[in-house]
Amino acid sequence: MEAGIIIKKKLPESFTRGDLKRLMDAYDLTYGFAADELPDNLSNLPMNVKIPVLHGRQPVKGKDGYFEYFFIETEKKPEIKEDGSVDYFAPTEYKKIHRGDVVAEYHPANPGDKGLTVTGLPLEGLQGKDLEPLDSPDLILSRDKLKYLSKKDGFMSIKDGKIQIMDCLVFQSDVTHLDGDISFDGSIQINGNVLSDVNITCSGDLFIRGFVENANLSSEGNIIISGGVNADGECSIIAGGTITSAFFENANVESGGNIETGYSLNSDITCRGMLKTKGKKSLICGGKVIAENGIETGTIGSKGKARTYVEVGAVDDTDTDEYYALYRQKEKLDNDEGRTHVVMETLIMKMGALKGRQDPNYIKLQAVMAQIKAQKDEVAKQLKELDYRRMKRNELTIEVTRNLYENTTVCINGNSLFVKEDRKRSTVRTNGRQIEIS
């Protein structure tokens, strides 16, 4: 994209830029003459060095395609703030949309600007990269294949890179026993508190701006409680996904995913993921806390020696049951494969190789064998994942960043230890036979 000259002998005193331009033209070097970079008289140019005199134009890549989103902002993860409250309910987090609204528009990639060589030959611009179309059962694509319209009313969010329209039931104030039992096929947002003797069930997520008293909450999705849970032991909170709350006091909590809170006081908590306490208090005091994938907290127990139990590892025998179920399924598939193979070989022996392989029954058996193989591959994959989960359990820890007080019981994968003296910053792990605290 550049041409230059090397002067081997001194140029005449009268040699100018115009003379050089005519010389370049004679060799069909016609584009990008660097007149402004050269003096008018060229007789004093240095010798035996390359002097650029022509500059081509580089081709330019076009702008990549992109989506413009309306009514929606990228999902924000709820966080425990320093004061212990949950920072989640930003007013722009979820926006109401209606059926037929345009929720996204695609702007296609552009071709880039062309370039030129120093001889004036064109160079094609580079085409920008287009994106794959959006994949969402909640959207309709317009005729021009650029706009995405909502199929229904709801609340928009992006989860795992995909657009979702969430059916959401909204309560603008406190929910009390006078509202009766609430059951909703979708998500629920409560902009007030949930008071005692309330039962709420939903198939989506449950968002509560205020606090929760002695209520029973059940969600197949996630539960977020901005104000925390202040109960007296008659409160039940169950989520299929994660649970985030400012705090738990005298509550019974069960999560299919992670739990994040400011502190837990005299509560019984079980979660399939990891439990973390954050903020100034960051403690687990009293009660029983079981987290399958580990615990991170500031303090466990109290100076007053409150009896506290914490455990990480499998929360039940699900993995063992799953292993034996998969193993039995593998045995059955092996037997089915063996019997099918015998029948296929019998057909070949009776009819001959060529005729037998063309027989409709043989062709059907081939399809059966392919199906069995696919099922065996899936079982093998699940067994491998199960073995990996079991291996990772040996790496589980209970991380305590401040104080681990006496009268606390810690347990990892069935190995337990009763803490008899206060400890500062500690990591609790197991060597497979016994608990170690470092």
Domain holding 339, by residue range, is 326-393
Residues 415 and 289 in one domain: yes
- Pair of tokens at residue 92: 């722009």
The tens digit of pLDDT for each residue in 87-139 reads: 543 333 345 678 899 999 999 999 888 887 767 778 788 888 999 999 889 99
- Measured on CA atoms in the order 251, 256, 261, 263, is the torsion positive or negative? positive
pLDDT at 29 over 90: no
Residues 188 and 279 in one domain: yes
Neighbours of 176 (CB within 10 A): 16
Residues 348 and 312 in one domain: no
How far apart, in whole angstroms, are the C-alpha atoms of residue 270 and residue 418? 20
Neighbours of 33 (CB within 10 A): 19
pTM of the model as a whole: 0.54
Residues 34 and 131 in one domain: no
The more confident residue out of 30 and 421 is 421
**Mean pLDDT over each residue of the chain, to the nearest integer:** 85
Residues 207 and 251 in one domain: yes
Show which of 12, 30, 55 is a domain's final residue.
Answer: 55
Domain-located, residue 61: no
Domain-located, residue 60: no
Residues 284 and 425 in one domain: yes
pLDDT at 316 over 60: no
Residue 85: predicted pLDDT: 58
- Measured on CA atoms in the order 275, 279, 280, 281, is the torsion positive or negative? negative
Domain count of the fold of the chain: 4
Q: How many CA atoms lie within 13 A of 210 on its CB side?
A: 14
Domain-located, residue 305: yes
For residue 230, the one-letter residue type is N
Residues 178 and 246 in one domain: yes
Least Cα distance to 174 among 193, 187, 200, 155 occurs for 193
DSSP 8-state code for residue 37: G
